[in-house]
Structure 1
Amino acid sequence: MDDGTWQGTNKKRKYHMVKWEALARPKEWGGLGFLEVKTMNTCLLAKWLERLEVEEGSLCVEHWFQRGRTVKIRSGAQTSFWHDTWLGNCPLRLEFDQLYKFCRDPHASVEQVMGSGHIQVEFRRSLNQQESREWKCLVELLTSVSLGEGRDIMCWALEKSGKYSTRSLYKALTFGGVENKFLMGIWKTRIPLKIQIFLWMVYHDRIQAVVQLKKRNWDGAVECKLCGEIETSDRILFQCPVALFLWVFLKQTFGWAAYPSSFGALMENLLLNNKGKVRHLYLFLCAGALWTLWKTRNDLVFNAKIVPAPVVVIHKTIALLTQWKILLKKKDRAKTELMIGEMSVSVLSI
């Protein structure tokens, strides 16, 4: 699968710019959303465990199924006191780990511990001062618990409905992190998929600039063919004279406080500081500029096509945005036409 992503059906070896684990993360957590088959198989197997769990007499639940499993206590007979999530947001063995290490019966059920009306937990030795404080906290926590009758009910914490879903467990297993709002902005911007993936690669600094190729044992020259400096992603897209000319033009046309000197600066100064609906229009504009610069660099490297004048890059960007605007919603299309109009007027003065 990894070879297919980077090489397609071409037998010629190509460089793998991003590791498979990053590609397989969900888009909202910084990946490309490729399906990780092994993890999905685990989630499908967990569906069978969920079915077994609700049947009488079955406690067959693996550790990865525990990621989202919580229990509503009734009699407490089917619930592990230490291992299940039934009180609070995590198992008691994690919240009171020192007590768990020295308890005599780590597999006791809630009913066995609390069914008599008293807390029955035995330890293999006397508790020290810190452990005694933990024990006091645990006892206070358990005072709010009262057991009833009937079978305990399994719930799924990763879904609002409380019911198990393969999708929710797959997301938790692939990457349980924080949503990347900037990358989600890329996926929501109405530009061609190819350009979205390109921006994702730029974000991760994985486009095939010389510095990245050198890490993969490429033996070519390290200098940018246009300016002679070491070729990095930021050099190609922001710092090379042609790129600098384009960004200064955009700064002056739209009244930006500064022009970006790197992709990080672009995110911070132009995108993250613009709110809501304005942000995705700026991202649309910047996507056109970045793709134009990348294509211009590739034409020079692979086809020996030299830009006759820097102003050509501006015209190419305008043409690209005009081509893409059909992808936008009607109200955004009108705003984009105004932006393109401003660029077309400004370029006449150069």
Structure 2
Amino acid sequence: MSILPQHFPEILRIKPSVTRVTDSYMWLASKSGTYSAKSGYYAATTMETEAPIENQRTFKTIWNRKTSPKLQLFLWKVVQGALVLGENLAKRGLMANVACRYCGEIETSEHIFLHCYHTRQIWSNTIWTSNFNPANCDSFSEAFLASGSSIMLPPWGLVGDIFPWIVWGIWTARNLYIFENRVLTPVEILTKAIRSEKEWHQARASITQPRPSLTHSRLWLDLHLPTERPTAPGYGDILEYIFSPSS
């Protein structure tokens, strides 16, 4: 029972067979109880389509959010539960290093990105004009969706949504602490996130800036040598050049 303590009540409810038949495995996704590739594929696709409504809305918002494609993929991994967090390691039977490095609690996506005392110090800064505080949200999806409709204060000088950049900063700081034993303060994490957001928008603006229009012209250049003849020999050349009207 010490191996599967969470299933202790279910195990006790199992009734032994009165005919003393030997236990065997049964695949519940098929009527015969036998596994097949077809029944396995059907079970897998059914599980994928049964994603919570909140997650489906979150996924759509992630890909429509105007931010770095790298951060879009990262946000998708957070909601999908694909990050190497302590909670996900525990689900796979890897019980080592499942606690938060900062406080020792179980490391979930909600804990590391919203509720950890180290993270709360970041969100305690007045970033938005409203009373929105991600630390007060119950789930990561709730915080992400709410951040999109919250307006940031002008003094920060931000154009886009800072929430994905702060979350990314929290994650990279967490990895830096685990692998290099370097601890970034909440102020350092927030400052780096703001700088990264501004640099990304500046780079994006420089790429999308329209190029000046160019004009194509031709010029006839007479190359005949001056002589006393009444008519020119007719030697010449055509020069073609491109210039900008603003130059």
TM-score when normalising by structure 1: 0.37
SS for the counterpart of 1:255 is: coil
Q: Aligned to 2:188, which of 293, 312, 315?
A: 312
CA change 1:329–1:282 in 2 (3 A) is: closer
Q: Does 1:243 align with 2:114?
A: no
Q: Does 1:218 align with 2:94?
A: yes
**Pairwise CA distance, 1:175:** 6.4
SS for the counterpart of 1:231 is: coil
Q: Give the Cα separation in 2 of the matches to 1:329 and 1:175.
A: 38
After TM superposition, list the pairs within 5 Å mapping 1:87-236 onto structure 2. 180-236=56-112
Which structure shows the bigger proportion of residues in helix conformation?
A: 1
> Identical aligned pairs, as a percentage?
25
CA change 1:214–1:282 in 2 (3 A) is: farther
Unaligned ranges ≥5, structure 2: 1-47, 152-157, 210-247
1:269 match: 146
Q: Give the Cα separation in 2 of the matches to 1:213 and 1:175.
A: 24
After TM superposition, list the pairs within 5 Å mapping 1:12-31 onto structure 2. none
Q: Are the equivalent residues in 2 in contact too, given 1:222–1:231 (CA < 8 A)? A: yes
Q: Give the Cα separation in 2 of the matches to 1:258 and 1:181.
A: 20
1:256 match: 130
Higher RCO (C-alpha 8 Å, min separation 6): 1
Q: Give the Cα separation in 1 of the matches to 2:49 and 2:74.
A: 22
Q: Are the equivalent residues in 1 in contact too, given 2:147–2:161 (CA < 8 A)? A: no
RMSD of aligned Cα (Å): 3.3
CA offset digits 1:94-113 (Å, max 9, x no partner): xxxxxxxxxxxxxxxxxxxx
Q: Are the equivalent residues in 2 in contact too, given 1:186–1:283 (CA < 8 A)? A: no
CA change 1:260–1:288 in 2 (3 A) is: same
1:60 match: none
Q: Does 1:300 align with 2:177?
A: yes
Aligned residues: 149
Which structure shows the bigger proportion of residues in strand conformation?
A: 2
Q: Are the equivalent residues in 1 in contact too, given 2:66–2:160 (CA < 8 A)? A: no
Unaligned ranges ≥5, structure 1: 1-173, 276-280, 334-350
Rg larger for: 2
1:86 match: none
Q: Give the Cα separation in 2 of the matches to 1:210 and 1:176.
A: 25
CA offset digits 1:174-224 (Å, max 9, x no partner): 969999443233223343322211100112233111010111122413221
2:201 match: 325
Q: Are the equivalent residues in 1 in contact too, given 2:61–2:145 (CA < 8 A)? A: no
